[in-house]
């Protein structure tokens, strides 16, 4: 009987210790959590464009600056709010490469808490399992991996040519060469194209770390020296459709510009082993004598004539060129984060600011404390007349009244450096 009493006493004592230890650990975890979130920054995901861009920019800057963030009202401006597969996949990728804690990372979630640690180079795979854009994942991951402790290799799967997102051709033809001017370097290997609704595209990215981004000045337009582009069909569609898109683009360009300016639009029927799905589309771009590169793209849709698709992409490009913009409407917002991080004073010249750009400025100012200046330059003033400098909101309002106004966006960058 005494033996069992001893065992019972030991059991009770052990159980008390276990309960005490578990309670102590729980309190410790709570204290650590409260400490890590003491400087958390809350971001309103419904601001302006109210889409996934706020999420992408804020989580990328969170990783780089090692700032915990809470993003609420995620994609409140969209008909189907909350996290969709491509957004969640992108955030999970950032979580992997920064050893971050992600709270509430679920499809449909309208609020997340993201607490990053250290950026780690290495091999990473991200698969949307949909036709969600691989380029939008690239937008968030590559700036972070530029400042990793060693080289990184990304294997991204999803849609390479998707609606409401930069296409892979835009990324390689426009974003990549302009980004190099910031000392933002990476290599793209397009393994396979993937289209809506199946996706299945694959892109492999190599990123070697740098110490710092450099400031750029993209305010001198120069003269247009060439037009370029790529018209494609994939799957069961006839190559003739691609020719019709290209011909419509060339015809419209010749109405506006001299026939002495070369136009080089590649017409392609995608090989079956290099593309999944049936699709058609075109990208049309222009390069100037000062190194400015602008472009716009359009994807074909059932019932929309091929020449209308070519015309749409070209009209969008010509609209930006009419302002003598050095940065097109699609690139504006993508450069804001680079300008904020770079060392030195960056300036870009563009047409009316998009909501995406205004949103990118809002997030960058909130997290980096860098201040952006937006100056409206009317058609009657030179770029050197700074008397018309306004706030971002006033510039946006004035743009609707002064159709020929251009805008100079500038900031003194943070001078962010890679941590050793």
397: pLDDT strictly greater than 50 = no
pLDDT over 60 at 2, yes or no? no
Task: Provide the β-strand partners of residue 343.
Answer: 214
Tell me which residue of 131, 130, 121 sits closest to 151, measured CA to CA.
121
- Domain boundary residue among 144, 178, 210? 210
Examine the pLDDT at 303 and tell me if it is beyond 50.
yes
| Per-residue pLDDT at 225 exceeds 90 | yes
pLDDT band at 76 (very low <50, low <70, confident <90, very high): confident
Choosing from 291, 319, 347, the residue where a domain stops is: 319
Distance of CA 415 to the CA centre of its chain: 20
| DSSP code, position 222 | -
Does residue 22 sit within a domain?
no
Do residues 38 and 67 touch, judged by C-beta distance below 8 A?
A: no
Indicate which CATH number applies to the domain containing 245: 3.30.360.20
Among 13, 103, 356, 384, which one carries the catalytic annotation? 356
DSSP string, 135-156: HHHHHHHHHHHTTSSS-EEEEE
Residues 273 and 338 in one domain: no
Average of per-residue pLDDT across 355-365: 96
Which residue(s) pair with 283 in the sheet? Answer: 230, 297
Measure Cα distances from 142 to 72, 100, 122, 197 in Å. Answer: 24, 16, 12, 26
Is there a single domain that holds both residue 128 and residue 202? yes
User: Confidence class of residue 5 from pLDDT cuts 50, 70 and 90?
Assistant: low
Q: What is the pLDDT of residue 93?
A: 97
Residue 81's pLDDT band (cuts 50, 70, 90): confident
60 neighbors 86 (Cβ within 8 angstroms): no
Q: Same domain for 133 and 184? A: yes
Domain membership flag for residue 9: no
List strands edge to edge, sheet with 69-72. Answer: 41-44, 69-72, 111-115, 101-103
Task: Say if residue 108 is in the same domain as residue 123.
Answer: no
Is residue 396 scored above 80 in pLDDT?
A: no
State yes or no: pLDDT of 290 exceeds 50.
Answer: yes
- At 49 the pLDDT is 80
Mean pLDDT of the chain: 88
Tell how far CA 50 is from the center of its chain: 15
Percent of all residues in the chain with a pLDDT value above 90, rounded to a whole number: 78
Asked if residue 50 and residue 136 are part of one domain, the reply reads no
Whether 50 and 125 share a structural domain: no
Q: Which of 15, 4, 12, 89 is nearest to 55 (CA)?
A: 89
Q: Report the predicted TM-score, pTM, of the whole model to 2 decimal places.
A: 0.85
Mean pLDDT value across residues 260-277: 96
271 strand-pairing partners: none
> Could you tell me if 73 and 103 are in contact, meaning their C-beta atoms sit under 8 angstroms apart?
no
Q: Averaging pLDDT over each range in 36-45, 325-334, 392-401, which range is the top one?
A: 325-334
Work out the average pLDDT over 63-67: 97
189 and 141 in a common domain: yes
Q: What is the pLDDT of residue 26?
A: 45
- State the Cα–Cα distance between residues 17 and 154, nearest whole angstrom: 47
Mean pLDDT across the stretch 309-323? 97
Closest Cα partner for 298 from 135, 97, 163? Answer: 163
pLDDT of residue 419: 85
Mean pLDDT throughout 26-49?
66
CATH code for the domain in which residue 76 is found: 3.30.110
How does pLDDT run across 137-164, given as a tens digit for each residue? Answer: 999 999 999 999 999 999 999 999 998 8
Torsion angle in degrees (nearest 10) through CA of 393, 399, 401, 403: 180
In the predicted model, is pLDDT for residue 188 greater than 50? yes
Instruction: Indicate whether 388 pLDDT > 60.
Output: no
Given a cut of 80, is residue 80 above it in pLDDT? yes
Answer yes or no: is 181 within a domain: yes
pLDDT, tens digit, for every residue of 114-133? 999 999 999 999 999 999 99
> What is the domain range of residue 393?
327-414
Is 13 an active-site residue?
no
Count how many domains the chain has: 4
């Amino acid at each position: 009987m005494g033996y069992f009493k001893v065992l019972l006493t030991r059991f009770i004592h052990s159980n008390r210790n276990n309960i005490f230890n578990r309670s102590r650990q729980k309190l410790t975890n709570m204290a650590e959590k409260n400490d890590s979130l003491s400087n958390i920054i809350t971001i309103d995901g419904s601001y302006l464009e109210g889409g996934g861009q706020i999420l992408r920019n804020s989580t990328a800057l969170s990783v780089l600056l090692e700032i915990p963030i809470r993003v609420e009202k995620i994609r409140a401006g969209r008909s189907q709010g909350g996290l969709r597969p491509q957004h969640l996949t992108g955030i999970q990728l950032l979580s992997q490469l920064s050893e971050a804690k992600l709270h509430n990372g679920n499809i449909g979630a309208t609020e997340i808490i993201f607490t990053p640690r250290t950026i780690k180079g290495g091999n990473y795979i991200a698969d949307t399992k949909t036709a969600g854009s691989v380029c939008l994942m690239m937008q968030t991951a590559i700036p972070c991996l530029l400042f990793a402790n060693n080289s990184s290799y990304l294997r991204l799967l999803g849609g390479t040519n998707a609606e409401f997102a930069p296409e892979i051709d835009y990324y390689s033809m426009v974003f990549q060469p302009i980004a190099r001017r910031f000392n933002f370097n990476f290599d793209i290997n397009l393994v396979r194209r993937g289209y809506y609704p199946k996706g299945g595209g694959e892109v492999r990215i190599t990123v070697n770390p740098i110490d710092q981004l450099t400031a750029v000045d993209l305010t001198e337009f120069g003269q247009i020296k060439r037009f370029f582009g790529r018209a494609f069909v994939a799957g069961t569609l006839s190559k003739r459709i691609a020719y019709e898109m290209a011909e419509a683009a060339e015809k419209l360009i010749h109405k506006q510009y001299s026939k002495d300016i070369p136009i080089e639009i590649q017409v392609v029927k995608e090989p079956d082993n290099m593309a999944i799905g049936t699709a058609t589309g075109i990208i049309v771009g222009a390069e100037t004598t000062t190194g400015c590169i602008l472009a716009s793209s359009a994807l074909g849709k059932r019932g929309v004539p091929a020449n209308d698709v070519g015309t749409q992409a070209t009209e969008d490009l010509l609209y930006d060129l009419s302002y003598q913009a050095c940065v097109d409407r699609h690139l504006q917002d993508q450069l804001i984060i680079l300008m904020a991080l770079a060392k030195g004073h960056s300036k870009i010249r563009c047409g009316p600011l998009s909501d995406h750009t205004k949103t990118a400025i809002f997030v960058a100012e909130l997290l980096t404390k860098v201040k952006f200046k937006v100056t409206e330059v009317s058609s009657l003033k030179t770029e050197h007349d700074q008397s018309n400098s306004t706030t971002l909101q006033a510039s946006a309002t004035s743009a609707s009244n002064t159709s020929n106004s251009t805008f100079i966006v500038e900031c003194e960058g943070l001078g962010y450096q890679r941590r050793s």
